[in-house]
């Protein structure tokens, strides 16, 4: 059975007191964009285990990082265009698009490890990313 995984994105408003569905990412979209950009096995993108926000203090343009069960990290922007620091305002920071900006593959796995490793959990903070196999 083919399941179409859906990841919803919500905007909490500039004051954090409202909630509005902003957009959605489907597994097929992620697979298609990844295959277009780097021509790799789509199975690497088939199961997203975690989506974490990236604080504004760390990046204006990269807003989310999604991690697949195989350790691939997909960096996503919720902005239609890249902003510069002097362009930041509450209006420009409202979500307006979902764009994949960068795809990062996990570090090489030692030959002694099983080939079907999957990620158990992930944690991202201050530019450091931890994967637990």
Q: What's this model's pTM, rounded to 2 decimal places?
A: 0.67
Q: What pLDDT, on a 0 to 100 scale, did the predictor assign at position 56? A: 80
Q: What pLDDT, on a 0 to 100 scale, did the predictor assign at position 72? A: 85
With beta carbons less than 8 A apart as the criterion, state whether 51 and 64 touch.
Answer: yes
Taking all residues of the chain, what is their mean pLDDT, rounded to a whole number?
72
**Which tens digit of pLDDT belongs to each residue from 61-104?**
888 888 888 888 888 888 877 776 666 665 556 787 788 888 88
Q: Where are the domains of the chain?
A: 6-132
pLDDT grade for 112, boundaries at 50, 70 and 90: very low
Closest CA to 37 of 63, 8, 72, 70: 72
Pull the structure tokens for residue 91.
Answer: 């209006």
């Amino acid at each position: 059975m083919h399941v179409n995984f859906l990841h919803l994105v919500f905007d909490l408003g500039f004051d954090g007191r409202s909630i509005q569905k902003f957009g959605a990412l489907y597994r097929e979209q992620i697979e298609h964009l990844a295959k277009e950009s780097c021509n790799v096995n789509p199975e690497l993108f088939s199961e997203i285990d975690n989506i974490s926000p990236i604080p504004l203090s760390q990046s204006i343009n990269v807003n989310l990082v999604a991690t697949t069960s195989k350790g691939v990290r997909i960096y996503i922007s919720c902005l239609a265009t890249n902003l510069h620091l002097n362009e930041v305002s509450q209006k420009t920071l409202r979500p307006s698009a979902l764009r994949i900006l960068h795809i990062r593959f996990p570090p090489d796995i030692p030959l002694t490890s099983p080939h079907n490793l999957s990620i158990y959990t992930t944690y991202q903070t201050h530019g450091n990313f931890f994967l637990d196999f």
